Structure 1
Amino acid sequence: MGKTYTVKQLAALAGVSVRTLHHYDACGLLMPGKRTPAGYRVYGAYELYRLQQIMFYKELDLSLESIAAILDDPGFEPAAALEAHKKALQARRKRISTLIKTIDNTLSTLKGGPVMLTDKELYEGFPQGNTYREEAIAKWGSQAVENSENNLRKMDKAAFLKLKDEFVNIRIALQEVMHLPPSHPKVQKVIHTHFELITQFWGNAVPEEERLAAYKGLAQLYVDDERYTQTPDGKADPAYAAFISEGMQWYATHIAK
């Protein structure tokens, strides 16, 4: 025979009141497995699992009537229900984490700290900002993207805008030396600055020992995806794309030597 619990023991185990268990018994939601000759309630393993399900559904704000209908349905599957609970709680955890982050950002602002960057501001200026983020997640994973975003959020808006302006300066500087080979020291000096700016965006999302390889992979995007080298008015610039890509690949290949 498995372990059994009195109503007081089960209440303490589950963190509910004895009155609550009495109410569940009275309304037929959770009746004891048996009663002693003296009339005391005794709960076994089945009742423990049913109480767990009740508590999970209460976390989702379902009424007791709705919970009873679900649990008493002949087609009810405990394992499938637990999987559904898990997904719902994970979604709730994500929402709560977002709310906590919002509170922290608001408190920082109220206390005179830097105004934190929004998701929109992080990708403002990139072509099709939301698509850019989704593609980055598909390529590098959500954790790497979130780590990079969190790194950027440590900056105030002025520092972030300055960082973005530096990329504009990089483009201007490279256009001025496009008559030189990508391996030329003047070109590579600009490329080195570009690499350092890229690593600021990455933060700790890309380990230091993997950055050159990642930078070389990024170089290919400049020729594969014209959005990475569009002019300010949205036009493709294939000559610039090829030039910066070759410069980046040369840098990634030779800087480690």
Structure 2
Amino acid sequence: MLRKVKEVADLTGVSIRTLHHYDRIGLLSPEHVTEAGYRQYSDRDLETLQQILFFRELGFQLKRIGEILKSPDFDREDALLLQREALLEKRARLDRMIRTLDKTIQDAKGEIEMTDKEKFEGFDFTNNPYEDEARQRWGDEAVDRSNQALANVGPEGQKQIGVQMEALFRKLAAMRHQNAASDEVQQAIGEWHAFLNSMGHTYSPQAFKGLGQLYIQDERFTKNMDKFGDGFARFMAEAMAIRANRLQS
């Protein structure tokens, strides 16, 4: 079914002006345009618009949304699950802020006395963790550079990189029952960090730590890594966090 721009605006609550803007910047261009120049939106276009609105609700910039939607790795179902998780967390945070506001009103009336800590419960000024997750899943400039680096070395070079990666993983997996902060483990984790940095992108301590967290937050990573030994993903996340913290101190 095809819908005119006004019909889409009436259906979704998104203004015609906004829809025209999305078209101009290449974020959402309708599949069909009549000979007279009228935009006609398909069901697939509406699905894309829904994705855009979910991402906007979560604080993503239009440019970043466009990058995600155009990524060859983008998966709609995966995105919907991530958005659901993010919105549930946002709802929980808003509930905390409402409780703080209710207490503040009571405090102002003299009915209760709030502690300084209670006055700021629910506020969160950290970076959007779901945008970080989206970057990990659907690519960014760092991923592009890594892919280009792989392309530059050719098939034989890629095969050698795979051999090196597996060797490092097996070496680290054999240490997974040791203390992650030990000198031996940290030396091996340093080798893993150096290996990643040789792949066309420099991993800052924070990015290296974030990658380790992804190993345990994304079940796909966990499942693949734990093939080297039960608990390997968690061990890597812990060891990588320790290295990152030491580099930042």
Q: TM-score, normalised by structure 2?
A: 0.45
TM-score by structure 1 length? Answer: 0.43
Structure showing greater Rg = 1
